[in-house]
A and B are shown apart, each in its own frame.
Chain A
């Protein structure tokens, strides 16, 4: 009898399920949302996914075992993770199920994407077809405010463009182009005059129709909003920039004239294909540009050159070089980790990341890398990181490498596996706070962003930093996700009131932290 009871208890424990249920609501209106596909999958896995579609009441419901899960909502082909708070910031809130966890009344806030669209006209109110509209996104990524080109669009025959769906937030817009007839003057008809006559061009404009990038203003795109941004391009006189460049036959070269635009970001003034060895870019306005020549479709040649365009035509003879490359080896303190190790290069200008699997000889190679400053990192499930990088062939500061065209850089990495774990709860008074930001900042910033760790607390208010490099840290929490925690000026007060944490190799620190700075 007693044995039977025990068995029954054991069976019920095995079979015990917990609900993950709630409602999807529009973040702005609070109204339930129908036709949203909510998918549930075990945390950190991409198998075992289950999906339901919400009805009129916006409700979803799953029965699951005790564990940790990821919830994603998808509507009209756009996906958002549970726990998002405004513009996508790369965080999500995992859901813990089990005894004592209330996971049956989740409110899944849907931040509807918005759209920016508009019309580009010329001075005669004629639509400009094929104008290049550049969308620049301003957001906080990895604790740093980033401005990066998020998308490009070309206007259609009515001069219309559209960016959608786009997460809410701040955006800049830049528009460049050239009058259709300046191209028509160049091709298809006999006559030599078109070579020498002044060529019309459009002066670039920045939202809201500003001539100077410094006068550009951001568009604040609210969730679900449709923002209209129209532009007027004015015809001005420019000169011809003739580019001559020897390159293997059959290679297509993409030639770009890039100027410094909004907050130092690239503005693509022109982008044209070069099929033979010569290209004339007509109607270029006076100013400083970076000329970029890039082989496409597997071609490995490229060039970068600063040019200054004045009042006369410019003839440029451009010599191609190779894309920068970075190769090297990794030295491990003991034996090589059992799981895959990745070597990464992170572009400082836009956080673009390229990864390579470290091969069996502990060597790696990046063949074609964009010029600019890059951070060389190690990643992988075993948590090995670079403690020292020996760089030859390019200027470097620690793991930051300045890559110029043609550079063939050798970088040898000394790896360390000395990592620990930091976990705990963010407390708001005596209650755990779910969905808030917990930051583990190095006590001394060495300029390596890999020393900063951030976590959006899960449904139970917990955070869990794995593979923390051994050393001294300050732990703090904030009720906002867009905190620029790598900006010392922004986090000075947080650091002052934070909790010091010392992480020893292969040890676990359990430390709760109070929510600070509610705003």
Chain B
């Protein structure tokens, strides 16, 4: 009976089902976590033609001819493919609620070189996770239309940032459910429509599960394969107020109103702006201190602090300003170094593959100057975790002759400045009268053209050769250099990417400003928050080194820090 049922739901092409051979592959699809059979999974078999030297002599070369058969597994997870030829096969199973692609690929178990019947093949499917829960208010009344955001943290260029992986709204019972979640850590946040303010006669400030106000203090829900987690919210509804005022130069385009509290940016779900008078009103604001940000996307922006306590706030005036373009000038002090002065310079390597090179040409190559290039990045200064994308703007060269660069679309505000040079190092970074090496923060005022950033760079610099721990694969290790002197911050050098990797699992870092450094080897460097001052303070196990201009220092990092 079971066989019959199974046969009736084979959905492959008849021609292939009979196939050009007499072999078969059979087995069972199982849940990788529980070992229990997975019923009615779709099993797909793809054959890769085996190259046969005898046949190709007679037949013209064919493009690779992938053949595919697919069948649904039965009620007990069983499957069978008949009539198969000797070939190389990839077999895979899929079903809703289980991981697909790389996560569920089950490699190399899914590779079959068919030379005889294969029986008892176990195809493992990795179940995805579920988070569900209920949202109630202080009187245990269910709350409908609350948006539940499942956020994940990731590190981008040394800073942690939050992104919304999934979101869903509660139903009339206050119930929500997120399914097909990949394993990982999720921070659940309750907010209003589209993650903005909650629009009702009472409201609540967006909050993380466990009543945390910031993602930093929130406790994540960890999803392993097959985890079914519950996260309930007890929200406190409170009287909400309105912010009214005037936008001084109201634009004609769409304008958003954002309530900014530290790293939390909440868009006002209910706001109105009269484009001719500039009068605006924002509803559903719960008590608190905010930075009110008014923006016509990418074109105009204004910010003003607003304190909401126990009544509506009236007569708030916001002035919008366009973004400015920052200028940057690099001044190189001193003659550039020559190719032959580069650390680890090897003429044999540089000239490899070139024949009939004259001594003159070699001489010319050796003495070619190494350009000094400095790039400036402006970024949001370190502020714990941002739930909106971080602003980062890099300089692009505007004028090659004068070594000037520009950074476009910079809205007024305070930015962290970071300077990286190649071919030399920065000896001074100035803007107006400000020394940005002492304090790498730049304040851009609305409506004022900022003074240019001037980078003074000296060619050359010190060189550091680092021996890496032999245990970890080089591509997962990053070398972090933390200057003990005034600078625009630490720098990460991924060991697996360029930077003159050495044969003995090491790394050469050129163009370092002279001075004292602490140097660390870090595992999973992509996930290291090296721009977080708090993280740097906890960092231990580094090696101290004094770098001198024109000299090479050698250190050995025995252990990579997790």
Contacts and interface: CB of A to CB of B under 8 A. Distances in A.
Interface in B21-45: 39-40, 42, 44
A35 B139 contact: yes
Interface string A15-49: 00000000000000000000101010000000000
Interface string B67-90: 111101001000000000000000
B201 A165 contact: no
B320 to A, nearest CB: 25
Interface in B96-136: 96-97, 130
Nearest to A226: B173
Point out which of A129, A164, A184, A196 has the most chain B C-beta atoms below 10 A from its C-beta: A184
B133 to A, nearest CB: 14
Given A51-B201, A157-B180, A164-B171, A126 B39 contact: yes
Given A157-B96, A189-B68, A191-B67, A74 B173 contact: no
B13 A189 contact: no
A39 B202 CA distance: 13
B103 to A, nearest CB: 14
A156 B179 CA distance: 8
Contact of A77 (B13, B130, B145, B180): B145
A180 B180 CA distance: 14
A200 B12 CA distance: 12
B44 A74 contact: no
A165 B44 contact: no
B310 interface: no
B12 A164 contact: no
A72 B46 CA distance: 64
A74 B130 CA distance: 33
Contacts of B16: 193
Given A77-B144, A77-B145, A197-B11, A189 B130 contact: no
B312 to A, nearest CB: 13
Contacts of B68: 189-191, 193-194
B506 interface: no
Nearest to A190: B66
A37 B201 contact: yes
B367 interface: no
A37 B141 CA distance: 14
B72 A181 contact: yes
A76 B200 CA distance: 10
A191 B46 contact: yes
Interface in A50-79: 51, 74, 76-77
A165 B144 contact: yes
B143 A77 contact: yes
A194 B44 CA distance: 12
Nearest to A235: B9
Given A76-B144, A180-B96, A191 B172 contact: no
B138 to A, nearest CB: 11
B142 interface: yes
B181 to A, nearest CB: 11
Nearest to A199: B11
A514 B393 CA distance: 76
Contacts of B46: 189-191
Contacts of B96: 129, 157, 180
Contacts, number: 73
A180 B70 CA distance: 13
A37 B171 CA distance: 20
Contacts of A124: 39-40, 75
Interface string B316-353: 00000000000000000000000000000000000000
Nearest to A166: B172
Contacts of A363: none
A285 interface: no
A195 to B, nearest CB: 10
Majority-rule SS of B interface residues: loop
A244 interface: no
Instruction: Report, as a range, how many residues of chain B touch the other chain.
Output: 35 or more
Contacts of B66: 190-191
A110 B95 CA distance: 46
A292 interface: no
A207 B67 CA distance: 42
Interface string A110-124: 000101000000001
A156 B75 CA distance: 22
A433 B70 CA distance: 71
A106 B200 CA distance: 26
Contacts of B145: 77
B171 A197 contact: no
A209 interface: no
Nearest to A193: B13
Interface in A173-213: 180-181, 184-185, 189-191, 193-194, 196-197, 200
Given A126-B40, A164-B172, A35 B141 contact: yes
B279 interface: no
A162 interface: yes
Contacts of A197: 11-13
A164 B180 contact: no
A113 B142 CA distance: 14
Contacts of A129: 96
Nearest to A114: B172
Nearest to B16: A193
A197 B144 CA distance: 45
A181 B11 CA distance: 10
A162 B173 CA distance: 10
Nearest to A74: B201
A184 B13 contact: no
Contact of B172 (A165, A189, A200): A165
B177 interface: yes
Nearest to B142: A76
B487 interface: no
A126 B75 CA distance: 10
A185 B96 CA distance: 14
Contacts of A181: 11, 42, 70, 72
Interface string B148-165: 000000000000000000
Interface in A146-182: 156-157, 162, 164-165, 180-181
Point out which of A35, A51, A185 has the most chain B C-beta atoms below 10 A from its C-beta: A185
A246 B434 CA distance: 58
B97 A157 contact: yes
A180 B41 CA distance: 10
A156 B142 CA distance: 20
A124 B74 CA distance: 10
A165 to B, nearest CB: 5
B471 to A, nearest CB: 38
A156 B201 contact: no
B387 interface: no
A43 to B, nearest CB: 20
B399 to A, nearest CB: 34
Interface in B219-253: none
B286 interface: no
A189 B67 CA distance: 10
Contacts of A113: 172
A163 to B, nearest CB: 9
B94 A184 contact: yes
Nearest to B14: A197
Interface string A227-240: 00000000000000
Interface in A67-97: 74, 76-77
A76 B171 CA distance: 11
A202 B43 CA distance: 20
A486 B145 CA distance: 37
A363 to B, nearest CB: 21
Nearest to A200: B11
Point out which of B13, B75, B139, B141 has the most chain A C-beta atoms below 10 A from its C-beta: B13
11 contacts: A76-B142, A77-B143, A77-B144, A115-B172, A157-B177, A180-B95, A180-B96, A184-B42, A190-B66, A191-B66, A197-B11
Given A157-B179, A200-B11, 13 more contacts: A35-B139, A76-B141, A113-B172, A124-B40, A126-B40, A156-B179, A164-B171, A180-B95, A184-B70, A189-B46, A190-B46, A193-B12, A194-B70
